[in-house]
């Protein structure tokens, strides 16, 4: 469940309830969410290539900024889907485990995600 784990940078982070101890793969991935995310990411990849072309072609700055905002919102959509999956699988498992330490680690992980990445 959500126990402490070291990263490559030597920092200790809570281990997610949905991944094995080595931290390499999530065990609780909704296949539908995964497919939706992959499609969105491919579309975002195309948007980024379009942005590169716009910069190369010296397009109007305001137009580029609008496209950047669109790309950022698309990435936020992927993040929301990942958070939904994380809450549905990992967080639920940790919070219902009956282990206060796991639940506390998951709360800390969720708050860190919200404060640093999902603003």
d(CA 68, CA 48): 8
What is the dihedral sign for C-alpha 38, 43, 49, 52? negative
Domains assigned to the chain: 29-116 (1.20.58.1000)
What digits encode the pLDDT tens for the residues 87-109?
888 888 888 888 999 889 989 99
pTM over 0.85: no
What digits encode the pLDDT tens for the residues 34-88?
999 999 999 999 999 999 999 999 999 999 999 999 999 999 999 989 888 888 8
Could you tell me the two tokens for 96?
């219902």
Q: How many CB atoms lie within 10 A of CB 89?
A: 19
The CA R_g of the chain, rounded to the nearest whole Å, is 18
């Amino acid at each position: 469940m959500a126990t402490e784990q070291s990263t490559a940078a030597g920092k200790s982070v809570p281990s997610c309830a949905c991944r094995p101890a080595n931290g390499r793969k999530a065990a609780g991935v909704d296949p539908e969410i995964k497919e939706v995310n992959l499609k969105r990411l491919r579309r975002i990849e195309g948007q980024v290539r379009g942005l590169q072309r716009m910069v190369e072609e010296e397009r109007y700055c305001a137009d580029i900024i609008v496209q950047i905002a669109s790309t950022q919102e698309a990435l936020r959509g992927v993040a929301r889907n990942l958070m939904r999956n994380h809450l549905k699988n990992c967080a639920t498992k940790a919070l219902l485990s009956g282990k206060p330490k796991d639940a506390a680690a998951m709360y800390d992980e969720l708050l860190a995600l919200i404060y640093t990445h999902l603003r």
